[in-house]
């Protein structure tokens, strides 16, 4: 599967290998994007900074490659905000990305949190999770927030179906946790729970409404308020 990893410049700290172990089953596309200040000429920025940015990108690509992942690099210059999201969406289509990282600081990939509102994206998410090196994952939590106690049993049945698909792909009971909670604010509950994990995996939302965003508003807020990277599994053909 193809995983698009955006890397935004300028950066306060140099890039690191970001513990790339576990991603050997992916084709990694590093999307370098230098965000130009308001009123700045993108051509001047490109001439001044492209060499240093590409050097960092290729160094990171080499580290992914040494870990066993196929890796390529793209570099672009433009305005922040909607412009970068539109270019990111365009590139995701061009390379056929199965998933895109919303890049908070990437640390480990071995403690994975999968909040599911329903099972519409379940098969795509299972396909994505299966591409991980399963030996590197010690926890994979399937999670649902019900707003009413009457919805708990249906939620458990929904997550059990996803759990069964993961077992069929080689995961074991020791790998998986299944959690259903009742809370009045699902968004807040997901954000709080995400802090216990290294990476959040979610499906692209039906709320997605144009080139300026990958996610619906709810999931964008989760990505903004979560300190761990969020991976959006795209609904590709």
CATH value at residue 185: 3.40.50.620
pLDDT of residue 177: 96
The rounded distance, in Å, linking the Cα atoms of 156 and 162 is 10
User: In this structure, what are the phi and psi dihedrals at residue 124, rounded to the nearest 5 degrees?
Assistant: -65, -40
> Are the C-beta atoms of 230 and 197 separated by less than 8 Å?
no
pLDDT of residue 124: 93
What is the tally of structural domains in the chain? 2
pLDDT tens for 26-51 read: 899 999 988 888 778 888 888 888 99
Within a domain: 105: no
**How far from 48 is each of 78, 96, 104, 153, 233, CA to CA, in Å?**
14, 31, 26, 58, 35
pLDDT of residue 160: 97
Residue spans of the chain under pLDDT 50: 206-215
pLDDT of residue 99: 92
Whether residues 169 and 116 fall in one domain:
yes
The rounded distance, in Å, linking the Cα atoms of 125 and 211 is 22
């Amino acid at each position: 599967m193809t995983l698009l990893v955006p890397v935004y410049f300028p950066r306060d700290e140099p890039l690191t290998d970001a513990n790339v172990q576990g991603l050997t089953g992916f084709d990694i596309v590093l999307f370098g994007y230098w965000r130009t200040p308001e009123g700045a000429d993108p051509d001047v920025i490109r001439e001044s900074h492209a060499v240093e940015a590409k050097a960092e990108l290729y160094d990171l690509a080499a580290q992914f490659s040494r870990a066993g992942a196929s890796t390529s690099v793209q570099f672009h210059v433009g305005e922040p905000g909607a412009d970068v999201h539109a270019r990111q969406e365009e590139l995701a289509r061009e390379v056929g990305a199965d998933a895109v990282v919303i890049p908070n600081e990437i640390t480990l990939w071995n403690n994975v949190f999968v909040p599911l509102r329903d099972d519409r994206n379940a098969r795509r998410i299972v396909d994505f999770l299966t591409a991980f090196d399963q030996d590197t994952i010690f926890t994979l939590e399937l999670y649902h927030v019900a707003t009413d106690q009457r919805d708990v049993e249906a939620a458990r049945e929904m997550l059990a179906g996803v759990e069964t698909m993961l077992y069929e792909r080689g995961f074991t009971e020791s790998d998986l946790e299944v959690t259903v909670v009742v809370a009045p604010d699902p968004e807040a509950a997901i954000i709080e729970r995400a802090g216990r994990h290294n990476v959040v995996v979610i499906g692209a939302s039906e709320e997605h409404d144009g080139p300026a965003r990958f996610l619906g508003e709810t999931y964008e807020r989760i990505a903004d308020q979560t300190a761990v990277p969020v991976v959006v599994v795209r609904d590709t053909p």
